Amino acid sequence: MSSNHNLFVALRRSFPRDLDQVAIETADGRSYSWRHLDEQSAQIANLLASLRIEPDPDAPPRIAVQVDKSVESLILYLASLRAGFVFLPLNTAYQGAEIAYFAQDAAAAVVVCASRQLERIEPIARQGGAAHVFTLDADRSGSLLDRAAAFGAQQNPVERSAADPAAILYTSGTTGRSKGALLTHGNLLASARTLRDYWGWQTSEPGGQAGADVLIHALPTFHAHGLFVAANGALLAGCRMLWHAKFDARAVVADLGRATLFMGVPTMYVRMLNEPTLTREQVAGMRLFICGSAPLSMETFDAWRARTGHSILERYGMSETVLLTSNPYRPDPRFRDQDERRGGTVGFPLPGVDLRLRDEHGQPVATGEVGGIQVKGDTVFPGYWRMPEKTREEFTADGYFVTGDVGRQDERGYVTIVGRSKDLIISGGYNVYPAEIEAYLNDMPGVAESALVGVPHPDFGEVGIAVIVTEPGAQVDGEAMIDELKTRLANFKVPKRCFVELELPRNAMGKVQKNLLRAKYEGIFAQV
């Protein structure tokens, strides 16, 4: 057994004996072998190792990546692990101001972007201290691959301990300043191994034949769900992936006939239910449907079961922890061998996760009562990038991470998320933090104050709407404000509607009562 705890070592060990077997098939008919993943990631890792980078005593070099989803972008992630870099995936919807903050805060030594974005991103990256900027495009072109082609296809993964950082995921924040959740090689491996066992991945034996499971990968790879749950899971199991660069409901349904696993967000399930080709016959070979990143409605849960005969397995996690809970795939001996996948719940704490609920005074709550969710375990991150005070705030004295989510655990052990104490909005599986958007709104001409609240939406599950109070005598155009935000923010963050009020409702302490605003506007998309 290798003493090197670099995550790539564990992933590579799970590759099948025959490296010429197909590892990934793309929707446009291209195939990638396990050998291709191994050799091209080695070439890119060798390129990264050759770069002149100023040493940082605090952490290994960081590589920030904002590129379109492609198999090559996954290979870049593997190469970053091999080279010992800290991987920083960025949502492709992020705009200039957001990218500038991330690049500067992370002090990224290397930035990789799409060619069409180079003119805009390179000055931002250089200003943030990046010494090297490369391009990578979905058509397998770009300076990164061009440069890497000159390097050898053999590489020994850099020695890393389980506690060494592997990735940074920026989570935004309730104060408007984004926080970088630092995930270690040990965090990511512990999560992948736990899910492999709990979800019954049909794996390959180390050095054996490819595993029997086939995963439809239709999630973005800048997100923990797509990268650390789906991709790491398939790689650790040595299983083939059917790769969709973008989610297209019809194309995904067509692939269900030759797959066994699908992971998605609620919006994807809603859209697939609109496809007449989704039948019991089409999913006859499917083993498991998994959903996360946002609450799944009971309506969708029930409709999917009636249509396909499958009960969707819902789970719960965070950028800071990867996954924490899951409905059972098979009988769970820790909870009296229960195997029911219950809609409206996120299941049981995963093996290795210590989950507890506490009231506002830090005291335990009774079974079935609502409390703040706190967790401890090998998958929980050690802290936020260069934010020691914030890290201390988010952990209890006895080492539990305070998630900020509110839930309850019933007498059967099932956990239900009932709210988010930090006003987080989850739209289409993406996190939207109101304070960040409110800061932009409040800086606009004529705006005295603003509030962003989440309201139900039939497609995205939840979307943000803005409520504006104007300065005396000022006139504002809500639609024009939304158009302006679209040039400055990722589209999923932009409010879908903007309303003007004379004042915001407040309690006796002066705090805006967002619950009243939600109640007022919760039905505006009912007919959408």
Q: What is the full DSSP assignment across 155-173?
A: -PPPP--TTSEEEEEE---
User: What is the three-class DSSP state of 198?
Assistant: helix
Tens digit of pLDDT for each residue in 270-286?
999 999 999 999 999 99
Evaluate whether 324 touches 375 at the Cβ level (below 8 Å). yes
Band of pLDDT at residue 125, cut at 50, 70 and 90: very high
2 pLDDT tier (thresholds 50, 70, 90)? confident
Closest CA to 86 of 3, 13, 163, 142: 163
Is the pLDDT at 171 greater than 90, yes or no? Answer: no
Buried residues in 486-522 as b, exposed as e (16+ CB within 10 A) = eeebbebbbbbbbebeeebbeeeeeebebeebeebbe
Mean pLDDT for 444-452 is: 92
Task: Tell the residue number behind the tokens 């704490």, with chain if given.
Answer: 349
337-358: per-residue pLDDT in tens?
Answer: 999 999 999 999 999 999 999 9
Q: Which residue has the higher pLDDT, 370 or 363?
A: 363
Phi and psi (nearest 5°) for 162?
A: -60, -25
Name the more confident of 266 and 155: 155
Sequence ranges of the chain with CATH classification 3.30.300.30: 425-521
pLDDT score at 175: 46
| Residue 116 DSSP one-character state | G
Nearest Cα to Cα of residue 404 among 382, 378, 373: 373
Q: Looking at the whole model, is its pTM more than 0.95?
A: no
Instruction: Answer whether residue 331 shows pLDDT above 90.
Output: yes
CATH code 3.40.50.12780 region(s) in the chain? 7-187
- The 3-state DSSP class for residue 464 equals strand
Topology of the domain comprising 7-187:
Rossmann fold (3.40.50)
Burial of 29 (0-12, 13-18, 19+ CB in 10 A): exposed
Range 313-420 has CATH code 2.60.40.10: no
Please tell me the predicted confidence (pLDDT) of residue 510: 58
Instruction: Indicate whether 512 pLDDT > 90.
Output: no
Share of the chain above pLDDT 90, in %: 81
Task: Say what the pLDDT of residue 401 is.
Answer: 98
Name the segment(s) of the chain with CATH classification 2.30.38.10. 313-420
Q: Are 62 and 85 in contact (CB under 8 A)?
A: yes
In tens, the pLDDT along 22-50 reads: 999 999 999 999 999 999 999 999 999 99
- Convert the pLDDT of each residue in 402-437 to its tens digit: 999 988 999 999 999 986 666 778 899 887 878 788
Mean pLDDT estimate for the chain: 93
d(CA 512, CA 466): 13
Between the alpha carbon of residue 451 and those of residues 438, 441, 518, the distances in Å are 6, 9, 11
Using CB atoms within 10 A of its CB, is residue 293 exposed (0-12), middle (13-18) or buried (19+)?
buried
Burial of 282 (0-12, 13-18, 19+ CB in 10 A): middle
pLDDT of res. 528: 46
Please write the tens of the pLDDT for every residue from 193-244. 999 999 999 876 655 556 689 999 999 999 999 999 999 999 999 999 999 9
Please, what CATH class does the domain formed by 425-521 belong to? Answer: alpha beta
